[in-house]
Amino acid sequence: MFSKSVLKTAYMLLVLGLALVLATACKEKEKKEVAPTSEALGEPRIGGTIYTTSSNPPNFDPITTISGALQGAVSHSYDGLFKLPYGPDKPYNAMFVEPHLAKSWKMENPTTFIITLRDNIKWFNKPPMNGRQFVADDVKFSFERMMAPGSSAGAGLVDIERIEVVDPLNVRFVLKKPNSFFIYSLSYSHYQMMPREVVAQYGDLRKPETLIGTGPFILESFKPNVEFVWKKNPDYYEKDDKGRSLPYVDTIQAKIGADPATTMAMFRTGQIDTRAVNFEEKADIQKTMPQVTIRSTNHPTTAPRAFVMRTDKPPFNDVRVRQAMAMSIDHQKFLNVFYGGEGEPEGPLAGQVVEYSMRLKDRPASVQKYFKQNIPEAKKLLAEAGYPNGFKTTLAYTSGLGGTYSGGEAEVAQEFLRLIGIEAELKVIEYNTWINTYYNGINYEGMAYVMSGAVHDPYEQLYVQFYGIPSSKNRSGVADKTLDGMLDKMLAEYDEAKRKKIIDDIQVYLFEKQYWVFFPSGPAHSAIQPWLKNMGHQGGQGDAQRWLKVWTERQ
C-alpha cells in the first residue's frame, strides 16, 4: 500500500495503488464465493449455444431510459471504455475495473483524465459502419449524446465539463470538480459507446436494426415477447491467454417474457443453462437436482429495496415522519418471508459494496434504533410531527421486474406502514411508465417502493442518488447542503483511509435523515447446469461480458 507521502506527491501512483489495494482486498473478502478457474476445468469447447432468459426492452437506445432490460440487451453489442471483472474466480462486485475499449488511462490533475484507446477495435462489418476503426471521436460523440438534454443515461455524468479529442486514440475528460471514482464509474453498463453514422442515418437508436456496435455479439433476430438470438462477432478484439478468439460460444439464445414458474420448469428440463434462484428454489434444486451447481454469496447482494418519497413536500419533508416509517419495519420478518431468514438491514450502500458498506453491527447506537421495529416510538414521532392519527398516501410499485418484488414485498411494506397509522394505497405501474416516472427523478406524488438501480460504489449510490442536483436518480428530491458538502469531500479525497472515514460519516448521516427508508436484503443465489463451464457469479444488468469465457459441453 502506498504511503501518505507518495499519495500526496503523485496522483497517478495514488490512484493505481488504490486500485491494487482494492483488488487485493476484494479478492480476500470474496474468496469463499469463487469457483474453479478455467484452467482447472480443462480446455474450453469452442462453439455451441447458451440458452438463457431475457426481458423485452422498451427500445434499443441507451439514452432513452435507464431500463435494465434495455441495458442487458444492448450490452451484447455495445461496449464501454472499462468493465467490471467477470468469471468464477472474480468477486461478486469488484471495486476495481479492467480496461475494455480503453487500453490505459492517466490523470493529469485531479480534474483531468486522458484515456488511451486500443488500436484494434472495429465496429460491426454492417452498413453504415462497415467495420471501420473505433476512435476517440466515437467516445466524444457517445458521451456528449448521453449528456445531452433529455437523455436518461447521463445522471452520473453531470460533473463532466468537456470532452476533447487529443488524437485518434486519445481522449481527454475535463471534470468540473475532482472525482476519485471517475474511472470506476466509466464501467457502468449504461455508458455504452454508440455509432455516430447509425444515429445520423436513423435519427436515434430505438430500432433493433440500429444495434451496431463493437461488442462480442451481433443481433441476428429479435421477436418481441418470444426470443433474442445473438451470434458471435467474428471480428471481436478480445482473445484468451492462449490466443483463442472470444467469445467461445457461437450463439446466445434468450427466451423473453416467461414468468418465474415457467423459467423454473425450463431450467429443470434443461432448456435454460443458468438462472438466478430464490432461497426456496435453491433448497428444492439442491434436493432434486444434485448435479446442478449453486453459487451463493456470503453477504447481502440483491439491489436494496426502499421507500422513496417526496421529501420536498409534506408529510415527508419532516424527518420524524421518515424515522417513524423506518421504525415500522420488522426486518427479520421481512427476511424470513423473502430470503429464508438470511441477510440484514441494508442502507444507502448495498451490502455487496463490501469495502465501504456499513454493516448493521458497525452502525453507531445513535442510529441502531431505526433498524428495530418499535411501533409505540414510531407513533410518538408521527404525533410530534403533527400526524397523531397517521395519514393517507399512495405507494407505487411496478409489475414488470418479476418475482416477489412485483407485489409481495410491496404488500408487506404496506402492512408495516399500517401498523403506525399510515394508509398507503398500492398503485401498480406498468414497467416502462415506472422507469420514466417513479424511477427516474421525482415525477410522481406520494411515495414508491423501489429497487435501487445503483449497486456499484459510493459515487453511484451516494453522490448520484443523494446529491442536491437534478439527477434522474435523486428519487426522493433530496436537497441538503450539509450532505452535499460531505459528498464533495468524499469525491475530492484520494487517500483511501480518509475517504473511508468520510463515507462512514455519510452513511451515518443518511441513517439519521432517512431520505430513503431501506429494507433488508439477503444473499444472491444462482443455479448453473453441469454442462455450462467457467460461469461466474456476478451482479449487474445482464452484462454480456459475463459470457465471454463461458463454454457449453451440452451434447
Mean pLDDT over residues 503-511, rounded? Answer: 97
DSSP one-letter code for 46:
P
Query: Is pLDDT of 35 > 80?
Result: no
From 270, 263, 277, select the one nearest 291 (Cα to Cα): 270
In the chain, the amino acid numbered 65 is T
Is the bond preceding residue 247 a cis peptide, omega within 30 degrees? yes
Chain-wide mean pLDDT for the chain?
A: 87
Position 279 scores a pLDDT of 92
Position 12 scores a pLDDT of 37
Query: Is pLDDT of 14 > 60?
Result: no
Q: Report d(CA 253, CA 319) in Å as an integer.
A: 49
Q: Report d(CA 36, CA 39) in Å as an integer.
A: 8
* Span 142-184, pLDDT tens digits: 999 999 988 888 778 989 999 999 999 999 999 999 999 999 8
Question: Three-class SS string for 297-315?
Answer: CCCCCCCCEEEEECCCCCC
- What percent of the chain has pLDDT above 70? 88
- 501: confidence class by pLDDT, cuts 50, 70, 90: very high
| Helix, strand or coil, per DSSP, at residue 26 | helix
Position 446 scores a pLDDT of 92
Position 457 scores a pLDDT of 83
Position 435 scores a pLDDT of 75
272 within 8 A of 322, measured Cβ to Cβ: no
Query: Is pLDDT of 10 > 60?
Result: no
Q: Report d(CA 348, CA 503) in Å as an integer.
A: 11
Rounded to 5°, the CA angle 494-160-468 comes to: 80
How many other C-beta atoms lie within 10 A of the C-beta of residue 284?
13
Helix axes 375-384, 319-327, angle to 10 degrees: 170
Mean pLDDT over residues 268-279, rounded? Answer: 94
* Span 396-444, pLDDT tens digits: 998 755 443 456 899 999 999 999 999 999 999 887 788 777 777 778 8
Q: Report d(CA 462, CA 472) in Å as an integer.
A: 13
- 454: confidence class by pLDDT, cuts 50, 70, 90: low
pTM of the model: 0.85
Beta bridge partners of 447: 309, 395
Q: Which three cell numbers stand for residue 201?
A: 442515418
* Span 338-354, pLDDT tens digits: 999 999 999 998 887 88
Q: Report d(CA 140, CA 70) in Å as an integer.
A: 22
Mean pLDDT over residues 9-26, rounded? Answer: 36
From 443, 411, 440, select the one nearest 428 (Cα to Cα): 411
Mean pLDDT over residues 541-552, rounded? Answer: 85
* Span 345-393, pLDDT tens digits: 999 988 878 889 998 999 999 999 999 999 999 999 999 999 999 999 9
Mean pLDDT over residues 468-486, rounded? Answer: 88
Q: Which three cell numbers stand for residue 169?
A: 486514440
Position 218 scores a pLDDT of 98
Position 259 scores a pLDDT of 86
Beta bridge partners of 104: 116
Position 520 scores a pLDDT of 93
